[in-house]
Structure 1
């Protein structure tokens, strides 16, 4: 098994790149999905998040209003830190369960975990290889504005809440530049996929 941590800035294209790896035979685990799962009503993370932020963040069905919560935490950095400190331990426990299930099915699996805050949380040592998806600041900003229907200032605020992409790239084992065409990104993913296959083979 090769455990790969895939990260990058918000709206840099992590999900697109992860899907390209899946098409080549990788297993994917999405940490955004895990974070959503652990914050479902009645679960321990949900109780702690609601306890900290209050019931004003809840929808009528008691689910967390993610849009409302995002507006709060991206306006107040200390609350974003608090949210991450509450949720991340539960997310990593869930991730470990997924790893065990995958390895039971395929011992030599290459598992790509999309982790938005991999370096910010200092969890890179949990992975055999780290890969950063990068793009130019302007492309990142435009993608985020279009994807989340945000104004430029709000999009900038969300980008600034994360470690600069250049710093992440410097910390990573491998980097995929996603600034160009889909075809160009596919070629870069193919190159790294071959390297990951070699790493997994040589690991055993």
Structure 2
């Protein structure tokens, strides 16, 4: 069963690629969904976050106030390190469980791990292919402003807080350029799917 990692910076079109790969039959394991799962009300991770960053990051209904937590750690590298030390191990365990479940269900299927923080946390995992969704920073800024309603300074700050494009591209086995329109991104994703087995064989033979 091919195990493919899909990553990309904020507003890179990664989710569009994941949805298209799912339409082709891939099983998508979504790291963001796993983060929300391990931070659910009453979870050990949420308790640890409250102990580390303050009980006021928890809403009255017991759910995490993500905006409050984000404001507390944004731009603070030490705080982000402490946050990751709490969240990443739980995400790793749950992602491995879901990947194992997918393997048991369809041993011949393709599993795609959709993960924003691949460079930061999972680059050395045994992926058979690493795919990077890529668009220039200015394109991503425009998307964040036009689609998500951020101000341009906020959009640029969000992009700057992540690893650089160069670091992401350095680990890529395949790059999907998403700077065009939706149809172009879909076509490039279809091309990747059609050549997936060949790309994996090429990588294995390096």
Partner of 1:152: 152
Separation in 1, partners of 2:151, 2:173: 34
- 1:160-175 matches, within 5 Å, as 160-175=160-175
> How many residue pairs end up in the alignment?
203
- 139-148 vs 106-115, which moves further: 139-148
Partner of 1:66: 66
Q: Which runs of 5+ in 1 are unaligned?
A: none
- Match of 1:28, SS state, is strand
CA positional deviation for 1:166: 2.8
Structural RMSD (CA)? 1.8
Contact 1:57–1:64 (8 Å) recurs in 2: yes
- 9-18 vs 137-146, which moves further: 137-146
Separation in 2, partners of 1:156, 1:78: 21
Contact 1:108–1:200 (8 Å) recurs in 2: no
Do residues 24 (structure 1) and 13 (structure 2) align?
A: no
Contact 2:128–2:200 (8 Å) recurs in 1: no
Partner of 2:80: 80
TM-score, length-normalised on structure 1?
A: 0.92
CA positional deviation for 1:49: 0.9
- 89-98 vs 155-164, which moves further: 155-164
Q: Which runs of 5+ in 2 are unaligned?
A: none
Separation in 1, partners of 2:145, 2:46: 28
- 21-30 vs 189-198, which moves further: 189-198
Structure 1 residues 53, 81: closer, same or farther in 2, change over 3 A? Answer: same
- Match of 2:118, SS state, is coil
